[in-house]
């Protein structure tokens, strides 16, 4: 992916750029809002990573200006502000995701992947498939290898969230936000317990595991390797 990083703090910028480059992405850097706006206006990027507090033009202003100009490149805000209203403010300005500093690099990588690979809104699929697992979104039914699996509504949403991002790493906080609408970090490992419940239903009685733990990052659902 081609990613534009707009960040004035040199050390954070180095760290993010290095990580993204190692992960195989192409990274351009801008150190202030105006430079970022000029680069991003081409629209040639797959995703933008924008710090909220920037010299010359702040992050909110940058994304607002881009959206006003019709540039729809997905944008992720980085911020040192973790206020309750700040996230909403960022999303209202046209941002697509919001990450509070400091963050684990794996979190940023997973979220960028999710943003850039978001499926287009039209042509919404009615059936999701990963390996021999099948989810019928209209009948709200799940089956694996032809055997029906009974899920609670929230388990269904959790599995749906994973199956809509096959092969992608999904972090704990992404699940908390996306499935339960929790925008804070509970001290109890609630995500882990829900995942293990889901695994008991989806993976336990079948040969190959579909839900994988990605160490230090989160979870991913993917079909077993055939080779």
Partner 1 sequence: MRPIEGSGRRRGLPAWLRTTAFRVTLLHLVLTLAGTATLSGVAWLATIGFAARQLAADVEQDAGVLLRVARLGGAPSVAAMVDARMAADRTGTEYYLLAARDGARLAGNLAQAPRAAGWRTLRLEGGEKPGAEVLAHGTRLPDGAFLVVARDLAPVRNLESRLLGAAGWVGGTALLLGLLGGALMGHGVARRAAAMGAALAAVEAGEIGRRLPVRAGGDEFDRLAGRINATLDRLQELMATVRQVTDDVAHDLRTPLSRLRQRLEAAQRDAGPQGEAVTGAIEECDRILGVFEALLRIAQVEGGARRASFSRFDLSGVVEAVAEVYGPAAEERHQTLVARVAPGVAAWGDRELATQMLANLVENAVRHGREGGTVEVGLERGPRGGAVVTVADNGAGIPASERGRVFRRFHRLDAARSSPGTGLGLALAKAVADLHGMAIDLGDNAPGLRVTVSVPPLPRQDARSA
- Interface map 175-214 toward partner 1 (x if CB under 8 A): -----xxxxxxxxxxx--xx-xx-----------------
Q: Count, in order, helices (H) and strands (E) of the chain.
A: 8, 12
**Cα torsion at 20, 22, 24, 29 (round to 10°)?**
40
Residue with token string 């908390």 = 176
Q: Distance between CA atoms of 49 and 154, rounded to whole angstroms?
A: 31
Shortest Å distance, C-beta 130 to partner 1: 22
Q: How far is CA 5 from CA 21, 52, 88, 148, 217, in A?
A: 12, 12, 22, 45, 21
* Candidate list 43, 83, 119, 167; residue touching partner 1; CB under 8 A: 83
Shortest Å distance, C-beta 181 to partner 1: 7
- Interface map 89-108 toward partner 1 (x if CB under 8 A): ------------xx-xx---
Q: Examine residue 82 and tell whether it contacts partner 1 (CB under 8 A).
A: yes
Shortest Å distance, C-beta 103 to partner 1: 8
Q: Which residues within the stretch 3-42 sit at the binding site for partner 1 (CB under 8 A)?
A: 9, 11-12, 15, 18
Q: Number of residues in contact with partner 1, rule: CB under 8 A?
A: 33
Q: Distance between CA atoms of 71 and 104, rounded to whole angstroms?
A: 28
Handedness of CA 51, 56, 58, 62 (dihedral sign): negative
* Candidate list 81, 117, 199, 212; residue touching partner 1; CB under 8 A: 81
Q: Examine residue 80 and tell whether it contacts partner 1 (CB under 8 A).
A: yes
Residue with token string 């960022």 = 90
Q: Which residues bind partner 1 (CB under 8 A)?
A: 9, 11-12, 15, 18, 53, 80-85, 88, 101-102, 104-105, 154, 180-190, 193-194, 196-197
């Amino acid at each position: 992916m081609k990613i534009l990083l707009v960040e004035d703090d040199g050390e954070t910028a180095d760290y993010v750029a290095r990580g993204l480059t190692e992960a195989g992405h192409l990274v351009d850097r801008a150190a202030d809002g105006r430079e970022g706006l000029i680069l991003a206006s081409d629209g040639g990027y797959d995703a933008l990573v924008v710090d909220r507090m920037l010299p010359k033009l702040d992050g909110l202003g940058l994304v607002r200006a881009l959206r006003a100009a019709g540039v729809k490149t997905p944008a992720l805000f980085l911020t040192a502000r973790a206020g309750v209203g700040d996230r909403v403010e960022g999303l209202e300005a046209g941002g697509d995701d919001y990450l509070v500093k400091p963050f684990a690099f794996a979190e940023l990588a997973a979220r960028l992947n999710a943003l850039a690979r978001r499926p287009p809104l039209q042509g919404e699929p009615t059936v999701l498939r990963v390996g021999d697992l099948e989810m019928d979104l209209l009948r709200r039914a799940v089956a694996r290898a032809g055997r029906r699996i009974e899920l609670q509504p929230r388990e269904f949403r959790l599995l749906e969230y994973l199956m809509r991002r096959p092969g992608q790493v999904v972090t704990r906080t992404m699940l908390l936000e996306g499935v339960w609408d929790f925008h804070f970090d509970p001290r109890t490992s609630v995500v882990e317990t829900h995942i293990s419940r889901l695994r008991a239903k989806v993976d336990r009685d079948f040969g190959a595991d579909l839900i994988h733990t990605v160490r230090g990052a989160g979870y991913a659902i993917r079909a077993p390797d055939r080779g």
